[in-house]
Amino acid sequence: MNLSSLAREAGERGTPVRAALIGAGKFGSMFLSQVPTIAGLEVAVIADLDPDRARAACRAVGWDDVRIAATQFTDSGPQAVAADGVDVVIEATGNPLAGIRHARAAIAAGRHVVMVNVEADVLVGPTLAAEAREAGVVYSMAYGDQPALVSEMVDWARATGFRVAAAGKGTKYLPAYHSVTPDDVWSHYGLTPEEAARAGMNPQMFNSFLDGTKSAIEMVAIANACGLNVPQNGLAFPPCGVDDLARVLRPRDVGGQLEGPEMVETISSVERDGRPVFRDLRWGVYVVLEAPNAYAAACFHQYGLPVDDTGRFAAMYKPFHLIGMELSVSVLSAALRREPTGTSREMRGTVASVAKRDLKAGEMLDGEGGFTVWGKAQPVAAARDALPVGLAHGVKVTRDIAAGETLKLSDADLAGDSVTELYRSLVAS
């Protein structure tokens, strides 16, 4: 409750929190838009493959020339990590392999890490978190993104003595979306390709939100951070509005749609026939609570929580998230409280690559949101041999793969690099 005061006091002492941002895309730009109005926070260096684009992003979000001139711009992530006086490194590239390299370099240099790059986190997050602890620094999820917000809600529920039946987020989903490619993504967003291009929107990135891959990544990140369970058959995306959270997102043996307790799940804002769900949660996050006793269940009803027909299950939800505009909470928390806003702890799940179409031996995979595969959330125990979507980019398949088939690690020509070996060791343990 005192984070802004701590930041202001740090600025008044002449020791503001100094951040390095790697990746000045949409998430990074949203963060940069807030920095000038946060006392005690500075961005010392911004790394982007195109530094001129990063400068333009700063101007677009309202930075003045004085602030831009005082900031170092570079095309090198390692250079940003090594810059003098940096307290916190924000990894926002979206490239899992680059993100892991940057995070490990930051940890080795004694910098805290805020990992916007959830793709990297679901590959080897527990290892990065362990390395950070050993180095005496913080490895944190990014506040404003759904995994950190859900982790906060789960922690709140447990700290107040409730059992967690389910936790997750909302999105727009239909089963046919799994086969959508960057070529036809914009029609689902109500945009023309020309409108999207003028807005600087990346079709592959936006397609990862539509085809189910991003939801799988985010739910696995939550499971790995909170010790929750991943559905055996992947996310079901049940259509559900906020009034029905407690009824739908409870175990099947008590009338709900979940295979068991303590599950992650993403709910859809549209019915399977395309009709909008009443009071949907497309932009929000939720947690479903189970009362530990009859008295607590009665209090659910007395204080107006949306409950199921038994009265034992109730829901709390946040209807919106502000993505990068909330990221400073993680940066300040890491530097001033030495506390993460959620962190990966164990490999409860993984995101398996599923063929969008028939693939031929020798064909190159193009990863998250692309033309070749989509990502399916799976429990680690059921998918130890599956090719994670974070490794399914820029590698060739070694055999013919049928549409709908889950790829195995052995189906891709993977280099024996440190990331691949780290991942193998995590899912094997």
Same domain, 7 and 121: yes
Q: Which residue bears the tokens 């189970």?
A: 290
Give the domain-ending residue among 337, 365, 384: 337
Same domain, 114 and 159: no
CB proximity list for 140: less than 8 A, separation 6 or greater: 112, 113, 114, 115, 148, 330, 333, 334, 340, 341, 342, 343
Length of the chain: 429
Same domain, 132 and 225: no
What is the distance between the alpha carbons of residues 171 and 156, in angstroms, rounded to a whole number? 23
pLDDT tens-place string over residues 186-245: 999 999 999 888 777 889 999 999 999 999 999 999 999 999 999 999 999 999 999 999
CA distances from 138 to 6, 92, 182 (A): 17, 16, 36
Same domain, 137 and 13: yes
Which amino acid belongs to residue 298? Answer: A
In a domain, 281, yes or no: yes
Query: What DSSP element (H or E) covers 112?
Result: strand 112-115
In a domain, 98, yes or no: yes
Same domain, 97 and 121: yes
Same domain, 31 and 162: no
Query: Domain holding 58: CATH number?
Result: 3.40.50.720
What is the distance between the alpha carbons of residues 238 and 391, in angstroms, rounded to a whole number? 28
- What is the number of domains present in the chain? 3
Ranges of the chain with pLDDT below 70 = none
Same domain, 131 and 165: no
Same domain, 44 and 109: yes
In a domain, 199, yes or no: no
Q: Sheet harboring 263-268: ordered strands across? A: 263-268, 163-171, 285-290, 313-318
What is the distance between the alpha carbons of residues 221 and 387, in angstroms, rounded to a whole number? 17
Q: What are phi and psi of 111, to 5 degrees?
A: -100, 145
Same domain, 67 and 153: no
In a domain, 71, yes or no: yes
Query: Domain holding 421: CATH number?
Result: 3.90.1210.10
Q: Which residue range is the domain that position 354 belongs to?
A: 349-428
Residue 64 burial class via C-beta count within 10 angstroms: exposed 0-12, middle 13-18, buried 19 and up? exposed
Same domain, 130 and 155: no
Bridge partners, residue 19, by sequence = 43, 88
pTM of the model: 0.97
In a domain, 424, yes or no: yes
| Of residues 230, 241, 222, the one with CA closest to residue 152 | 222
Same domain, 121 and 30: yes
CB proximity list for 141: less than 8 A, separation 6 or greater: 114, 115, 118, 121, 147, 148, 151, 221, 225, 330, 340, 341, 342, 343, 344
In a domain, 402, yes or no: yes
Give the domain-ending residue among 310, 337, 364: 337
Contact 373, 354 (CB under 8 A): yes
pLDDT tens-place string over residues 326-372: 999 999 999 999 999 999 999 999 999 999 999 999 999 999 999 99
Q: What are phi and psi of 123, to 5 degrees?
A: -80, -55
pLDDT of residue 201: 81
What is the distance between the alpha carbons of residues 397 and 399, in angstroms, rounded to a whole number? 6
* E-state strands within 172-312: 263-268, 285-290
Same domain, 295 and 399: no
Listing DSSP states for 309-332 in one string gives TTSSEEEEEES---GGGGTHHHHH
Give the domain-ending residue among 287, 305, 337: 337
What is the distance between the alpha carbons of residues 158 and 219, in angstroms, rounded to a whole number? 18
In a domain, 190, yes or no: no
CA distances from 419 to 75, 148, 388, 408 (A): 23, 24, 12, 16
